[in-house]
Structure 1
Amino acid sequence: MRVLRVALDLPLHRLFDYVVESASPDDIGLRVRVPFGRGEKLGVIVEVLAESDWPLEQLKPAIEILRDLLPLPADFFRLCQFASAYYQAALGEVIMQALPVGLKRLDPPTRRNARASRPSVALAPPALTQEQTIAVAAVDPAAGFSAHLLHGVTGSGKTEVYLRLVERALADGKQVLLLVPEINLTPQLEGRVRSRFPDAGVVSLHSELAEAARERNWRAAFSGEASIVLGTRLSIFTPMPRLGLIVVDEEHDASFKQQDGMRYSARDVAVFRAHQLGIPVLLGSATPSLETWANAQSKRYNLITLLERANPEASLPAIHILDTRKMVLQEGVGAPLVAAIKERLARGEQSLVFLNRRGYSPVLACPACGWVSRCTRCAANMVLHLADKRLRCHHCGCEHRIPKACPTCGNQDIHPFGRGTQRLEGWLQETFPEARVLRVDRDSVKSRKQWEVMLDRIHGGEADILVGTQMLAKGHDFPKLTLVGVLGADSALFAADWRAPERLFAQLMQVAGRAGRAELKGEVQIQTQYPDHPLFASLVKHDYPGFAAEQLKEREQAGFPPYAFQAVLRAEAPEMADAIAFLKTAAAMPLIGEHENIMIYDPVPMKLARLANLERGQLLAESYSRPALQAFLPLWREAIEGIKSPSKLRWHIEVDPLEF
């Protein structure tokens, strides 16, 4: 009789023991069906023991060890153990979250064999610029672990550097993991990768794949049949037996941070995984996160720079800051931008008007009584989507029909206030009736297939004016796009979130980079009421290093990351009083006094204090020492688990939070 120690998909920091007639250490990493409560669960064997801490007669027998898959490897378990310890997540939750849904089902469907796609003819690579040649040479896989930051201006050919490094890794018989922040960035990159490496076997892993397709692709990566895996954040945990290179594109993007379930940073896990395996990791961005930039400045990461655009006939766009205090705006658009769009239409070139606010209007309001379209489930307004005739909350998804009159006073003269992409699209179509206006946001593009169709239309010249949100801000190359106009940039300049300037600069620099990527000259017009703000001065000069230096100086003075390390305890409950009371109990625990390097701040409501009918509060723990914070958190978590709280209260700890 042997004992199986099993990890189950539960938010419990413990493993479960089951007995089985025969098993060996070779079974570690296999999935197993076990009884749990009144039902069954699927888990993963993490240990095979001769005896248990519990009497054998108290242990239930395992139902079946599944042998349809090779055991998960030791490096996969080490990666999951790191994520569990660092992010204060249950090991079972980490392991099971890393598996595709089909491998976690008790009743798996009939599976087809995993096959990696293989086109027939490889495209010849373009010639490298001198900067690209130096960048490729700087990443030496023979040197073991090394972390590199590839800081290249938009259009500098970072992707070509990635592909040359992939080529070298494949020649060495290695696998490559390419991470992108969003599904919508995968079509163009996936097309380039497949066409360059038709014999390598390329698979993609992201949430929009059907369950069966995701499992097939995961199996292809796990078996080694697929040599290149292109995926979003969860693919960082994909077991790959010959992994030799990890690339994280747009490493600054907040989408790499998981915001529910196990909360982790795929970028940071990528660096740990590369260190664990002794392989290089390359982080690429035109606007690196300040944490990554600080690591490069301190020589923890090797800094590689691309200062020129890869196309010798292309140059960085000229950026103009327009003072809206001195102009009359029509639907938020000033006369200089209108004139610039007319010029592009006359020349047969494309323009992009960027407004990072989808819908028709941010709010519907009654001028008589002051009623506004607030969400009944959240501390947020419902956005007017006129095309769908709906009011929609962008936080919880709640929807209502547009009322014909004010629900409070009956006034039928209710108005939309502010503007979103739908309203801007309509105005542009009226202003430029001869132009083909195309709106690109999450309302017009809801699937990858729709996104690919939209990209084909843009590349095919079927659009003269693009109206877009951040979906168009990065990773896309439109040769005929020569003008970018930015509306509504001021809202982030004075936000309470201390990360807001960093995000705004990255967003504006990325969207500006869409202009003039071929031989046609590019121009960017940014409308603002604060033209003298230092952020805009850095933008005009394309000076990310200068902007980053000033931001890091401010953060060091304020004691913010990367000069401090943070974790947030969050609680949500039907009543805010319950959430705050729970957090106060956690803040008053005696063990906090035993850790003098830890600072605990007062409990406060979250910025979005109510979400989906739950009131949300938070408590910040901070230290100037990462080891001190990591030593404190598991002890604190164990103590918090002992707090008696209302049955409907839920809590979690998030390490290195991005949102407050």
Structure 2
Amino acid sequence: MPPDQAPDSPTADPAIVVVAVPTPLRRCFDYLPGNEQPAGGWCCGVRVRVTLGRRQVVGIVVDFRAHSDVERHRLKPIEALLDQTPLPADWLWLCRFTARYYQHSLGDTLANAMPVLLRQGRPLEARTRTRWFATEQGLATTAEQLGRARRQAELLGVLSQHRHGLVASAITAQGFDQAQLRGLHDKGLIDSTREWLAAPERRSGPVLAEPSLTLNHEQSAALAAMHEGLDRFHPVLLHGVTGSGKTEVYLQLIEAVLDRGRQALILVPEIALTPQTLERFRRRFSVAVVALHSGLNDNERLDAWEAARAGRARIIIGTRSAIFTPLAAPGVIIIDEEHDSSFKQHEGLRYHARDLAVVRAQHHAIPIVMGSATPALETLRHAHQGVYRHLRLTQRAGHARPADMRLVDLRGRPLRGGLGPQAMKAIGEQLDAGRQVLIFINRRGFAPSLSCHECGWIGECRHCDARLTLHRQPHQLICHHCDTRLPVPDACPSCGSADLRPQGAGTERTEETLSEAFPDTPVLRVDRDTTRRRDALEQTLTRVRRGEPCLLVGTQMLAKGHHFPHVTLVVVVNADGGLYSADFRAMEHSAALLTQVAGRAGRASHPGQVLIQTHHPDDPGLRLLIEQGFDALAEQLLEERRMARLPPWRHMVLIRAEGQDASMLHSVLEEGGNALRVWLGEQGLAVDCLGPVPAPMERRQTRWHVQLMLSAERRSALHRATAWLDEWLAAHPGSRRLRYSVDVDPQEMT
């Protein structure tokens, strides 16, 4: 039986144990049981330590066999048993499905789905802490009764003031020590309990810590429709304009799930959204809420993972990888901003968290809600077909009006830091009125390139087919693809001229321009460079929410899900960057981003305005977006995709190969493509094989990149073809000189 279909029932004394180990090889390895055995017998899902080559690794048991293809005397025994009980069966099922669907190694998939400490062999145990509290006898004891034990009396007084007690670290922070704790404990005046560091168990009581908000008619109708599917698989697209109150609908749906004793998993696209989402959920609910994202350290991540598995954490909020969090009692999955490309993993295991969430919800027979103002075309087509229930929210909450969107023609206009005269005037007017302004520019750094005015030289990366971005802090030329860093030259390396000029504008240059133009107004820049420090973004956003006049300059980190009630003007510095691209999804992604950015303006009592600067004001797609909105553009794009036989009307797989020799890459992929076409003809499978062609950025990090694309109307045929080509490439003699990846349902072609 294949490892991804193996039963999870215990096996008393297997002859051969099949273990999935973290390796790119798409096979599992046979081992002898060894001396240890789980208390309940061998079963799938227990972790073991095994020898692989010359190193020891942590693997997971996935199957059992009576015989092995390898001679028994050559098999190695399992070195150590790490678990007495298996990892959750539903988690193991999801990993098996993921590996099978995304054509990836099962061992590597399991490793990616586990916290780092579990991969290293750490026991599946969350950290605990000691909480001390005064007993009834202690509450009745006075300081005089303790006589000369003055510090004990002070400590007892402190604990008596805290009905739920104090943790040991808080006690020692106030200057008390273990001797005083022991003294009071020996007298029966205080006692202690052990509690989990993440999601400590709470006493029973109402799930709400504060009352829910009143819903409008559309929100109430959407919530009622969701309640109909609480006990079954019920996929819902909550299609609401920005500011329509989708989060409040989520919160009230989660309340119903919690009342049934179940858990809620909420996925958000960016780590930047996690703190504000956590704060809002923890204010609303009295149950334990945990976060799972890349900003946690290894101990924090394991604590949260275990709390969700054990059921103590009732609400789990996380980014993409949180889809692999085990749940003791799954009740609902919510994908906020479901259209966002951040839900797709672009390296290693190239899964899409939204799609896995749908599969997981179906497996558990629970509802899933996908919310967005700009749904992905794949999701929109499912809604049109009736596969997903389509619920609409067309009104902004609190009667806020939609922002007024206008195109600003930049042709022939002077620019300062990427901003035209109309934008500068509008910014000044809003600041004079005591408002806030958001300037969106999706390019970090000072300028996209540095060039010589005399000879036309442009600073380019010697490792990539890309230009070096000029930064002021630090003052360097930096490649945003391979992180090559070079000092800024004093003179042109080609002709020696000192007339070197920055071309275009990035966030740093726009920030500098605004600081000069509006010296009395703080300019807050938000991009990857300014938010590297932990909590840096949250501190900036807290300052913005205070409502004081300011200029907020940032990249797409600011476009997703943030609530800025005092922002009344949004300026998009350059709307043309994503309009013309080799990627057929470019217009979809650009339109969604512009719509999301525009949604940050006018979310409270003051009307909002959006100025979109462009050198192509007559672009038909851009005009349709401005005049009729994202929904009209999405319908047009869907029809164009249908005519062009592109997703979501067909399914795709992209084979990406890279190596030091470009001609060798083309040769191997061309040979593989031809062999696949012959095999497809023999099998009678309707799969198109296109390429190989150079990648849009052919040279990156000193390596050449080539692509081969497969497409078909039926997923089954496409997966069979992909699996065959994968085996062919793995067996080819030239495979050792290249690296290749299989990207099922690619979201980016560039």
TM-score by length of 1: 0.96
Compute the displacement of 1:53 (Å): 4.2
Q: Secondary structure at the match of 2:577?
A: helix
Quote the Cα distance in structure 2 between the aligned partners of 1:346 and 1:107. Answer: 58
Segment of structure 1 superposing worse, 461-470 or 175-184: 461-470
Contact kept, 8 Å, 2:687 with 2:711, in 1: the verdict is yes
CA change 1:279–1:111 in 2 (3 A) is closer
Map of 2:706 onto structure 1:
617
Quote the Cα distance in structure 1 between the aligned partners of 2:390 and 2:620. Answer: 25
Map of 1:286 onto structure 2:
373
Quote the Cα distance in structure 2 between the aligned partners of 1:108 and 1:387. Answer: 44
Map of 1:644 onto structure 2:
733
Quote the Cα distance in structure 1 between the aligned partners of 2:305 and 2:507. Answer: 37
> Does 2:170 match 1:154?
no
Compute the displacement of 1:495 (Å): 2.0
CA change 1:390–1:109 in 2 (3 A) is farther
Aligned match of 2:576 in 457, 478, 490?
490
> Does 2:74 match 1:58?
yes
> Does 2:54 match 1:38?
yes
> Does 2:605 match 1:519?
yes
Map of 2:304 onto structure 1:
217
Map of 2:340 onto structure 1:
253
> Does 2:263 match 1:175?
yes
Map of 2:721 onto structure 1:
632
Matches within 5 A, 1:201-350: 201-312=288-399, 314-325=400-411, 327-350=413-436
Matches within 5 A, 1:43-192: 43-67=59-83, 70-106=85-121, 112-113=127-128, 114-117=196-199, 122-139=209-226, 140-192=228-280
Compute the displacement of 1:111 (Å): 6.2
Contact kept, 8 Å, 1:136 with 1:165, in 2: the verdict is yes
Quote the Cα distance in structure 1 between the aligned partners of 2:323 and 2:455. Answer: 52
Map of 1:19 onto structure 2:
32
> Does 2:738 match 1:656?
no
Quote the Cα distance in structure 1 between the aligned partners of 2:700 and 2:694. Answer: 12
Contact kept, 8 Å, 2:680 with 2:686, in 1: the verdict is no
CA change 1:528–1:377 in 2 (3 A) is same
Quote the Cα distance in structure 2 between the aligned partners of 1:101 and 1:554. Answer: 44
> Does 2:565 match 1:479?
yes
Equivalent AA in structure 2 for residue 146 of structure 1: H
Quote the Cα distance in structure 2 between the aligned partners of 1:582 and 1:596. Answer: 23
TM-score by length of 2: 0.85
CA change 1:523–1:44 in 2 (3 A) is same
Between 1 and 2, higher relative CO (CA 8 Å, sep ≥ 6) is seen in: 1
Q: Secondary structure at the match of 1:645?
A: helix
Map of 1:582 onto structure 2:
668
Contact kept, 8 Å, 1:457 with 1:463, in 2: the verdict is no
Quote the Cα distance in structure 1 between the aligned partners of 2:124 and 2:90. Answer: 28
Equivalent AA in structure 1 for residue 727 of structure 2: E
Contact kept, 8 Å, 1:318 with 1:540, in 2: the verdict is no
Map of 2:10 onto structure 1:
none
Equivalent AA in structure 1 for residue 233 of structure 2: F
Equivalent AA in structure 2 for residue 130 of structure 1: H
Contact kept, 8 Å, 2:452 with 2:500, in 1: the verdict is yes
1:360-380 C-alpha deviation (Å, 9 max, x unpaired): 000111233332221122111
Quote the Cα distance in structure 2 between the aligned partners of 1:25 and 1:229. Answer: 32
Q: Secondary structure at the match of 1:176?
A: strand
| Alpha-carbon RMSD | 2.0
Contact kept, 8 Å, 1:183 with 1:448, in 2: the verdict is no
Matches within 5 A, 1:394-413: 394-413=480-499
Q: Secondary structure at the match of 1:490?
A: coil
Matches within 5 A, 1:386-535: 386-462=472-548, 464-535=550-621
CA change 1:225–1:117 in 2 (3 A) is closer
Q: Secondary structure at the match of 2:430?
A: helix
Any gaps of 5 or more consecutive residues in structure 2? 1-12, 129-195
Q: Secondary structure at the match of 1:411?
A: coil
CA change 1:542–1:458 in 2 (3 A) is farther
1:348-400 C-alpha deviation (Å, 9 max, x unpaired): 00011111111000011123333222112211111111121111111122212
Quote the Cα distance in structure 2 between the aligned partners of 1:499 and 1:129. Answer: 35
Contact kept, 8 Å, 2:273 with 2:561, in 1: the verdict is yes
Q: Secondary structure at the match of 1:556?
A: helix
Equivalent AA in structure 2 for residue 19 of structure 1: L
1:42-85 C-alpha deviation (Å, 9 max, x unpaired): 001112445444333221110111127x4122222221121111
1:475-514 C-alpha deviation (Å, 9 max, x unpaired): 1111110001111111322222211110111010000000
Compute the displacement of 1:141 (Å): 3.8
Quote the Cα distance in structure 2 between the aligned partners of 1:657 and 1:346. Answer: 47
Quote the Cα distance in structure 2 between the aligned partners of 1:59 and 1:424. Answer: 64
Quote the Cα distance in structure 2 between the aligned partners of 1:176 and 1:584. Answer: 47
Contact kept, 8 Å, 1:115 with 1:217, in 2: the verdict is no
Equivalent AA in structure 2 for residue 90 of structure 1: S
Contact kept, 8 Å, 1:18 with 1:62, in 2: the verdict is yes
Aligned match of 1:194 in 282, 292, 303?
282
Determine which structure has more spread, i.e. the larger CA radius of gyration.
2
Equivalent AA in structure 2 for residue 78 of structure 1: W
Equivalent AA in structure 2 for residue 583 of structure 1: L
Q: Secondary structure at the match of 2:438?
A: strand
How many residues get paired?
A: 657
Matches within 5 A, 1:528-543: 528-541=614-627, 543=629
Map of 1:547 onto structure 2:
633
CA change 1:620–1:25 in 2 (3 A) is farther
